[in-house]
């Protein structure tokens, strides 16, 4: 695989962009590559675009440089989009469409072909961060880059727990730890720590969850009114679906929250038997075999009916 620097000229104007509602992997991979390109190409001009990163990411060096407004940003030589296809890049859409060269770095099976002129796509990579790290030359990597990349890997593997963790993942993580940063604190601060309100809404979502298909599926939903009551936003709901997944007997966990009138963001997690990426892709979303998402329209019951039809057919071996 060609290293990323082989695709970039010394004096290029470069934009890096992640996906909407950036998660730990997105922030880690984008910020890691941003600082790396600044180190490696001091004559280039590098910008990074991230939609309002959550406050927990304040510990990532340089996060304050991340731009959210692209209204007068045109004429980039290169646009690199990471951890997503071009359909979820929000403010960076125009930058991507007008850049002279586009590069896509992703690990989503739903984006297997890639959408750039140059594509680094590897669905076997635990995270975009792991993949980005493999595209780097060690001599330009410093402790801040290592920390950002490590955080991305930690988040997408659930602290090296999910089945996407491989010997390759741990080899990368071992090298990154060698740079010396407080990884224990990093994991606590960015991954485990929750505000009191986040824990309360988690508790409520678990309490109101419903099992169906003989306990092989579980679903929970949080509506707008409840989110307003607890004063929480979408980012505060991260992790609820993972708690549903670990219920004994559950093959597939579904979590929805209301994003507008008759509109829901859906998160799905599987314990292996159900390919949730294919369900999400069917409804216009995407993701991985065991973790995927989409946005759906209609009533809550319409959404559940439509999703559970696909899940049940898969569990009965009638659908891939
Ligand atoms: P989530 O349930 O939002 O945590 O997402 C699980 C996985 O699916 C992540 O890797 C997301 O990047 C991906 N994903 C979620 N929603 C979408 C979507 N609408 N389109 C494509 N991928 C998605
Ligand atoms: Mn992501
Ligand atoms: Mn990812």
Assess if residue 90 is contained within a domain.
Answer: yes
Assess if residue 320 is contained within a domain.
Answer: no
Torsion angle in degrees (nearest 10) through CA of 146, 152, 156, 157: 20
Residue for token digits 């993949």?
A: 131
Same domain, 228 and 178: no
Assess if residue 130 is contained within a domain.
Answer: yes
Ligand 1, atom 17: closest residue by C-alpha:
293
Torsion angle in degrees (nearest 10) through CA of 280, 284, 288, 293: -60
Same domain, 230 and 311: yes
Same domain, 68 and 209: no
Name the domain count of the chain: 2
Ligand 1, atom 18: closest residue by C-alpha:
285
- CA contacts within 13 A on the Cβ side of 4: 29
Ligand 2 centre and the CA of 110: distance in Å? Answer: 13
Contacts of 209 (CB under 8 A, 6+ apart): 218, 219, 220, 244
Assess if residue 93 is contained within a domain.
Answer: yes
Same domain, 239 and 302: yes
Ligand 1, atom 21: closest residue by C-alpha:
286
Domain range spanning residue 222? 196-315
Same domain, 175 and 210: no
Give the pLDDT mean for 240-268.
98
Ligand at minimal distance from the CA of 286 is 1
Which among 160, 192, 224 is the end of a domain? 192
Same domain, 55 and 181: yes
**Which of 286, 288, 296 has most ligand 1 atoms within 8 Å of CB, for mutation?**
286
Quickly count: other Cβ atoms within 10 Å of residue 225's Cβ.
Answer: 8
Give the integer Cα–Cα distance in Å for 143 and 147. Answer: 6
Q: State pLDDT tens for residues 19-49.
A: 999 999 999 999 999 999 999 999 999 999 9
Ligand 1, atom 20: closest residue by C-alpha:
285
Q: State pLDDT tens for residues 100-144.
A: 999 999 999 999 999 999 999 999 999 999 999 999 999 999 999
Choice among 44-53, 59-68, 69-78, 157-166 with the minimum mean pLDDT: 69-78
Same domain, 185 and 207: no
Token digits for 191? 């991954």
Dihedral-angle region of residue 249 (phi above 0 means left; psi in -120 to 50 means alpha; beta otherwise) = left
Same domain, 182 and 233: no
Q: What is the 3-state secondary structure (H, E, C) of 167-186?
A: HHHHHHHHHHHCCCCCHHHH
Q: Is the pLDDT of residue 74 over 80?
A: no
Residue 163 is part of a domain; what is its CATH number?
Answer: 3.90.1640.10
How would you classify the pairing of strands 263-270 and 252-260? Answer: antiparallel
Assess if residue 163 is contained within a domain.
Answer: yes
Q: Which residues surround ligand 3, an ion (CB under 5 A)?
A: 25, 83, 127-128, 156
Same domain, 18 and 124: yes
């Amino acid at each position: 695989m060609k290293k990323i620097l082989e695709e970039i000229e010394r004096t290029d104007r470069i934009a890096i962009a992640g996906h909407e509602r950036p998660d730990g992997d997105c922030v880690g991979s984008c910020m890691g590559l941003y600082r790396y390109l600044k180190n490696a190409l001091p004559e280039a001009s590098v910008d990074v675009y991230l939609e309002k990163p959550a406050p927990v990411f304040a510990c990532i060096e340089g996060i304050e440089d991340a731009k959210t407004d692209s209204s007068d940003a045109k004429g980039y030589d290169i646009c690199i989009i990471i951890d997503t296809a071009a359909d979820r890049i929000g403010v960076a859409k125009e930058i991507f469409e007008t850049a002279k060269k586009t590069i896509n770095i992703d690990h989503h099976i739903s984006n297997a072909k890639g959408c750039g002129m140059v594509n680094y796509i590897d669905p076997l990579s635990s995270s975009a961060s792991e993949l980005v790290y493999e595209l780097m030359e060690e001599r330009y990597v410093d402790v801040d880059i290592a920390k950002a990349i490590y955080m991305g890997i930690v988040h997408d593997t659930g602290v090296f727990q999910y089945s996407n963790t491989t010997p390759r993942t741990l080899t990368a993580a071992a090298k990154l730890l060698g740079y010396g940063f407080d990884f224990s604190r990093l994991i606590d601060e960015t991954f485990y720590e929750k505000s009191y309100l986040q824990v309360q809404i988690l508790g409520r979502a678990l309490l109101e969850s419903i099992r169906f298909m003989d306990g092989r599926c579980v679903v929970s939903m949080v509506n707008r009114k409840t989110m307003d009551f607890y004063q929480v936003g979408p980012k505060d709901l991260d992790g609820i679906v993972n708690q549903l997944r670990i219920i004994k007997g559950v093959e597939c966990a579904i979590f929805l929250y209301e994003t507008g009138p008759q509109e829901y963001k859906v998160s799905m997690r599987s314990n292996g038997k159900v390919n949730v990426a294919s369900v999400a892709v069917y409804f216009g979303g995407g993701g991985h075999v065991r973790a995927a998402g989409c946005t759906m329209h209609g009533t809550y019951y319409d959404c559940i009916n439509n999703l559970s039809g696909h899940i049940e057919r898969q569990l009965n071996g009638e659908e891939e």
